[in-house]
């Protein structure tokens, strides 16, 4: 197998930086682990469990201009921004399996049946995801309960595993991964070391995504009491969506003066009370419990059925950030339990 030694890791990073490659990885800011671009190898710090921000920031930034406009006498001139060449080649070094899976989920949304988002696509194509398998998880991690693992490869281009010797075993997952290794071959060497054992977070026994999907696909459960009961305390602050690796909703807004300005694409959140409001003023999700239901269903029903992708990757960030202690895992348990109670619903043929 290929190895990347400690020393080489740093050299490799420096080399990439020297070549104007944008290297993004876990760094420590104010004692906090965050994913951020680095200007030197020494800045990287793989010791932490997981960055506070989702790594999606680097493919789907919180706010970005999508076009410039100029209002003329009786017409409007528009100019695209972004597109090819705007973004540097990027290596997301030391992403976690859950975040990588999140990127896969995002891709399934933004690159969908030919309806591609050029801005996303451009970045995506220039980005190589180098995942580092977790050595440990924490109280909030639950990747194992959504069918992932600390060393899962979904969404990764390259997977690194720590070895007992403290080096990294390199396992290309995609061509992109291969290309990367090939391009920087000098930093990788053949060798064989045994992996450092990975401690996966405990599986939530009582939770089963299959059951959840089944239960959710029964429209009659739409009005179930469980939603209000669980989400009544939710304040709709939307922090969960902002840190979620798979949340992708955005909003378009025009900013500027009377005669020119820019149209920007900004993150939006389904937890905001007017997220779904119609122009008529009618709001189909006027209650917070409904909005939270939407988020839960989005993760465990819409994604799987519509994009056949994972809506939740078990990174546990939403649990960590929630101000009132709303716990998605707790809900997964609940719903699984309910699913036990009433078996799969068979949609009757429409006549």
Partner 1 sequence: MSWEPKIVAFVCNWCTYAGADLAGVTRTQYRPNVRLIRVPCTGRVDPLFIIKAFEQGADGVLISGCHPGDCHYISGNLHAKRRWIFFKGLTDFVGIEPERIQYAWVSASEANKWAKMVDQATETIRGLGPFTKYHALKGTGTAANGGACPLLVWSEAWQPGIPDEVPLPEDAPFVPALREKARELLEKGEVKVVIGYGWAKRQRRIVPVFITEPGDVSRLVFNPLCVNNLSVYLPRKQGDIAKLGKPAIVAKGCDIKTITVLLQEEQIGRDGIVILGVSCSGVIYRQELWAGKAAPDLLAPKCIGCDVQTPRLADHVVGEPVARSVEQQGPSEVQRQIEALDRKSPGERWDFWAEHFDRCIKCYACSQVCPLCYCDRCITEKNNPQWVETSAHPQGNFSWNLVRAIHLAGRCTYCGECDRVCPANIPLNLINRKLAVVSEEAFDYRSGYDEKAHPPMVVYHPDDKENFIR
Partner 2 sequence: MSKIGVFVCQCGNNIAGTVDTAKVADEAKNLPGVVHTENCRFLCSSPGQQLVKEIIKTNGLDKVVIAACSPHMHEKTFRKASEEAGLNPFQCEIANIREHCSWVHEDKTKVIGTEKSLDITRMTVERVRRNGPLDKIRVPVTKKALVIGGGVAGIQAALDIAEAGHEVILVEKEPSIGGQMAKLSETFPTMDCSQCILTPKMVEAAHHPKIRLYTYSEVESVEGYIGNFTVKIRKKAKSVIEELCTECGECTAKCPFTAPNEFDSEMGKRKLIYIPFPQAVPAIPIIDRDHCPKYVKDKKKCGVCAKVCGPNCIDFDQEDTFVTEKVGAVLVATGYEVMGVERFPEFGGGRYKDVITGLDFERLASASGPTGGDIKRPSDGKVPNRVVFIECSGSRDESKGVAYCSNICCMYTAKHAMLYKHKVHEGQSFIFYMDIRCGGKRYEEFHRRAVEHEGAVYLRGRVSRVYERNGRLLVQGADTLSGSQVELEADLVVLATAVVPRIGAKDLAKRLGISYDGYGFYNEYHPKLRPVETATAGIYLAGACIGPVDIPTSVAQGSAAASKVLALFSNEELSREPVVAEVNTATCNACWDCETACPYHAIQREAVKDRAGNVLRYVAKVNEGVCVGCGVCVAACHSKTIDLRGYTDAQIYAAICAL
Q: How far is the CB of 259 from partner 2 (least distance, A)?
A: 7
Does 325 engage in binding with partner 2 (CB under 8 A)?
A: no
Residue 42 or 70: which CB sits closer to partner 2? 70
Name 132's bridge partners: 160
Residues in 58-77 at the binding interface with partner 1, rule: CB under 8 A: 58-64
Q: What are the b/e assignments for 319-337, b being 16+ CB within 10 Å?
A: bbbbeeebebbebbbbbbe
Q: How far is the CB of 105 from partner 1 (least distance, A)?
A: 17
Residues in 271-290 at the binding interface with partner 2, rule: CB under 8 A: 281
**Checking DSSP bridges between strand 260-267 and strand 63-71, what pairing results, if any?**
antiparallel
- Contact segment (CB under 8 A) with partner 1 among 153-161, 173-181, 254-262, 338-346 equals 254-262
Residue 26 or 172: which CB sits closer to partner 1? 26
Instruction: Collect all residues with Cβ–Cβ distance below 8 Å to 325 and sequence separation of at least 6.
Output: 233
Binding mask 58-87 toward partner 2 (x if CB under 8 A, else -) reads -------------xxxx-------------
In 3D space, the residue among 292, 161, 198 whose CA is nearest the CA of residue 236 turns out to be 292
- Residue 122 DSSP SS3: helix
Q: What CA–CA distance (Å, rounded) separates 302 from 148?
A: 19
Q: How far is the CB of 346 from partner 1 (least distance, A)?
A: 31
Question: Are the CB atoms for 231 and 292 separated by under 8 Å?
Answer: yes
Residues in 282-321 at the binding interface with partner 1, rule: CB under 8 A: 286-289, 319-321
Q: Which of 251, 284, 343, 344 binds partner 1 (CB under 8 A)?
A: 251
**The residue to which tokens 């992109």 are assigned:** 176
Judged by phi (left if over 0) then psi (alpha if -120 to 50, else beta), residue 308 lies in left
**Interface residues toward partner 1, by CB under 8 A:** 29-37, 49, 51-53, 57-64, 87, 138-140, 228, 231-233, 235-239, 242-243, 251, 253-255, 257, 264, 266-267, 269, 272-274, 286-289, 319-325, 327, 329-330
Query: Which residues of this protein are in contact with partner 2, per CB under 8 A?
Result: 71-74, 256-259, 281
């Amino acid at each position: 197998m290929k190895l990347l030694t400690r020393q080489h890791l740093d050299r490799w990073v420096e080399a990439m930086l020297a070549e104007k490659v944008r290297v993004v990885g876990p760094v420590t800011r104010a004692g906090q682990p965050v994913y951020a671009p680095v200007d030197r190898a020494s800045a990287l710090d793989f010791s932490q469990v997981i960055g506070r921000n989702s790594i999606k920031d680097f493919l789907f930034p919180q706010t970005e201009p999508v076009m410039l406009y100029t209002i003329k006498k009786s017409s409007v001139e528009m100019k695209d921004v972004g597109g090819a060449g705007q973004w540097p080649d990027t290596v997301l070094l030391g992403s976690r399996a859950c975040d990588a899976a999140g990127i896969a989920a995002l891709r399934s949304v933004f690159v969908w049946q030919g309806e591609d988002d050029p801005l996303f696509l451009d970045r995506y194509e220039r980005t190589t995801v180098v995942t580092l398998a977790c050595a440990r998880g924490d109280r909030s991690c639950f990747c194992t309960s959504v069918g992932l693992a600390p060393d899962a490869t979904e969404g990764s281009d390259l997977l690194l595993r720590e070895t007992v010797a403290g080096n990294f075993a390199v396992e290309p997952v995609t061509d992109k991964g291969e290309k990367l290794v090939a391009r920087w071959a000098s930093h990788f060497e053949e060798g064989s070391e045994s992996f450092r054992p990975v401690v996966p977070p405990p599986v939530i026994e009582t939770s089963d995504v299959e059951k959840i999907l089944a239960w959710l696909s029964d429209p009659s459960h739409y009005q179930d009491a469980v939603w209000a009961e669980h989400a009544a305390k939710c304040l709709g602050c939307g922090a969960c969506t902002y840190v979620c690796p798979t949340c992708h909703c955005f909003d378009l807004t025009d900013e500027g003066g009377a005669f020119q300005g820019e149209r920007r694409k900004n993150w939006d959140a389904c937890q905001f009370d007017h997220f779904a409001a119609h122009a008529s003023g009618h709001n189909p999700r006027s209650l917070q419990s409904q909005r939270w239901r939407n988020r839960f269903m989005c993760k465990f029903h819409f994604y799987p059925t519509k994009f056949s992708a994972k809506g939740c990757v078990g990174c546990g960030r939403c649990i960590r950030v929630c101000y009132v202690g709303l716990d998605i895992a707790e809900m997964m348990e609940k719903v699984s339990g309910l699913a036990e109670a009433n078996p799969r619903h068979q949609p009757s043929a429409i006549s």
